[in-house]
Structure 1
Amino acid sequence: MSISDLYSSGKHLQEIGHFASIVKIAKIDNVITEGEQKLLDRAAKKLNISSDEYEKILKNPEKYLVNPPASYDDRIERLYRLTKMIFADEEVDREEVDILNKIAVALQFPLDNVEKVCDEAIHLVLNDNDLEDFTNAIKRVNLD
């Protein structure tokens, strides 16, 4: 196996873990709404999740670990996508926010600042900020 194969499979494991995190948030209320389904389908395509992987992850997302990327900007982008999933069904419940906080810790956001980061993430997505504005705001909040 070449180095590029190792990188590729490692990157794909990160993508699988990220997709599983998105599924966890979508399934928190045991119902996947039409909006959540559309977001799952888009995420699966963007993350190169095969239909077989999609079905396995959908059945048991807890089986897959969060495998955070090394890049801070990539971790912020993951937080952005996860936060967007919270709003896919047009309502936010406490369990979704709790899972977002846990996943943010797994994405290596500081434990003592994770709630503030997630609150800001929710506020930014609620106000329809794009990824660039989201990234800049999260960086500012995470410095405080």
Structure 2
Amino acid sequence: MSISDLYFNGEHKKEIGHFANIVKIAKADGKISDGERALLLKTANRLNISLEEFTVILNNPEKFPINPPVSYDERIERLYRLTKMVLASGEVHLKEQKLFEKIAIGLHFHNDRAEKVCVEAIELVIKNIDLDDFILAIKKVDSI
């Protein structure tokens, strides 16, 4: 096995962990809406998640660890994708919000600021802010 194979496998594991977190949020209210399912399929495709992996993760997302990226910007980008799933059903359920905050802490956002970061993330995505502006805004909120 070459170094590039190891790197790909490590990166793919991170993507699988991220996808599992997105699935957890989709399932938090007990059902997956049509909007959530469409976003899951789109995200799986973008993350190179195979159909077999998709099925395994969909059935048992708790089996996969968070595996946050080292890069702060990449962690914020994951928060952005998670926020889109929180809003995919058209409303934010309390269970989704609490799970979202827990995952944010797992992505290494500080415990004391996770709730504030998640609330800001939801507000930004509702306003249809692009990823670059989202990253800048979350950095401001996370540093306060």
Q: CA deviation at 1:122?
A: 0.9
Runs in 1 of length 4+ with deviation above 4 angstroms?
none
Q: Distance in 2 between matches of 1:90 and 1:115?
A: 20
Per-residue CA shift, 1:71-102, capped at 9, x if unaligned? 11110000000010011010111110101101
Tell me, in whole angstroms, the C-alpha distance in 1 between the residues paired with 2:39 and 2:130: 16
Q: Is the aligned partner of 1:55 residue 2:90?
A: no
Partner of 1:141: 141
CA offsets 1:74-133 (integer angstroms, 9 cap, x no match): 100000000100110101111101011010011011112111111110111111111111
2:118 maps to 118
Residue in 2 that maps onto 1:98: 98
What one-letter code is carried by the residue in structure 2 that aligns with 1:45?
Answer: N
Query: Which TM-score applies when normalising by structure 2?
Result: 0.97
Corresponding residue for residue 10 of structure 2: 10
Residue 54 of structure 1: how far off its partner (Å): 0.2
**Structure 2 letter corresponding to 1:110:** H
Distance 2:100 2:29 in 1: 14
CA distance in 1, matches of 2:3, 2:13: 15
| Alignment partners' CA distance in 1, 2:47 and 2:98 | 24
Q: TM-score, normalised by structure 1?
A: 0.97
Q: Unaligned 5+ residue runs, structure 1?
A: none
> Number of residues paired by the alignment?
144
Structure 2, gaps ≥5 residues long: none
Identity fraction in percent: 58
Superposed, 1:19-58 pairs within 5 Å as: 19-58=19-58
Query: The residue matched to 1:16 in structure 2 has which SS?
Result: helix
